[in-house]
Structure 1
């Protein structure tokens, strides 16, 4: 049963719920005819069993999602990732919005905005989580029609990986002040964010003895990042569990970095804790926008791989250094040698020295401002 009543200058519709209580349609009507038509539509839907409570459509996305997470059975790492996507990207944009107020055009505008700030893979992953939320909301009758339809997404497969020159790395590193060693270390080791920021003091080791292949200073990789949280143990890919040779000059940078603080981390935050992306981004993004717009921190890793390819570093060593797993059978019977790593250290040193000369300095310490940018 539904009826209409006048409220001020408008008309509203009241309808009976299955529990016997009455609810008010969220829409207001300027004419009696329009309100009466709405009441008749509600009664018709109730008789046919297709009626859904319009009040559900006024529910805010932020009120729906916590229960949605509780009902879904994600694998633990996947849940951490989705919760991080919700907290960082989705909730600030949609958490305060009613389901009925979200349009397809607004979703497309949001996706376009993310494309200006993030890589294609990140944009697609975040949108995928939001679309999943909206799809379940539609099934639960919170949405009449899912606005996540016919959305144009960036082509992640066609995304061009950007690489920096050694001189650009020098300029980026010197522009981020106390994080100079972090930028240089990432570009010249090819580590992922979670690997380099998770490195502890014990991760930097000096191997001695008869094993020529592992002799010298090395960085031991044993940390990964999951949704912004550092995890000790095996990195996310099997071959990522590795140790990396360091050129002598880079080992010196590590030594001076460690001598400058007492944190357990090699590259800590200004408070000595694990460095978080948001804190680093406050320094990195202005420097990046000024020196190499659109260049991501992860592109330092791509730069390292590009340099090795240009220097014709053997594929087996490239895969080992980057933590890549090769599907080629020949790689199962190939191993890195001391000569291979020595040649790579020589090539990286040449690039480093050339970048210092191009920057007009002969000592990298002149480019590093430990106290701040």
Structure 2
């Protein structure tokens, strides 16, 4: 149990509370103007110790900058492609504003003002990433008993607006492939198999089973800071993707005279292709192909969307599309490509109507000739 001691200052008599922290280190708080206030504080300390909710005031003096630097070193579970934007958001948006602040001094209103100001300058993705870093740091501060609650939780955040997908039809894909020259097979694989760019450029000859017409996805090659980092596929899930038979000759040519560990699609030095540029200072081969084919500007990732669209157009169900694209769940596929399944909703209504017509439900419904004008009822004639 703690104790209360009086002392004299220029302003008059004051009281000091001396108590033991849960780790048995002595703590104190000075400046109480009445013994009653000091006693209430001491009681709150003892109660928080008993319930396990004790917060050491000195622990709240740790700054966001110190905690953030330590937090970043523990993000080894993130792939390089995921870690880079996190480090960038910390360096550009979080540390300059919050680095010098003690976690115990941050207020909810301040976080809201920061989010609002940042939203006026940056896109929703950047804002959400920066906010997520600050909120995560303060969550850790709560768990470490530095602060009692997270002041960043509950603020109003911007919403990400999903961009409209661009889909190509078969003729457009063919035109784009022709305009892509020696990368025509790569374009067709992206447009008909739905591989991510990093998955396509990371393919090795041994990953192809031309007899079974399967592409086995074992790795993902991502460009990070101008360098190619090779790792596991997104969500660390390997998968096998079927490809149409017409792609067999092109893939066979791409693998000709290569060793099993050679890249299927590579630059002239046998190294990984960069995302769009052949070399620094040259025009993007993909944008050049789009212009030559007379197609609107789009990204390589839109070819993945095209693959989903073409699959749905020939009757593929959502589970098949999910497996082809390597999504974590069918729900995720539906969220991303809900527009592709709109026709299914119409089909459901049509099928339900057909089923109801030949069931007992139709017998209880009034049958009217909708080609004739409806005769008003007595209530309608009176205007009631």
Which structure has more relative contact order (CA 8 Å, sep 6+)? It is: 1
Relative to the length of structure 1, the TM-score reads 0.48
Relative to the length of structure 2, the TM-score reads 0.47
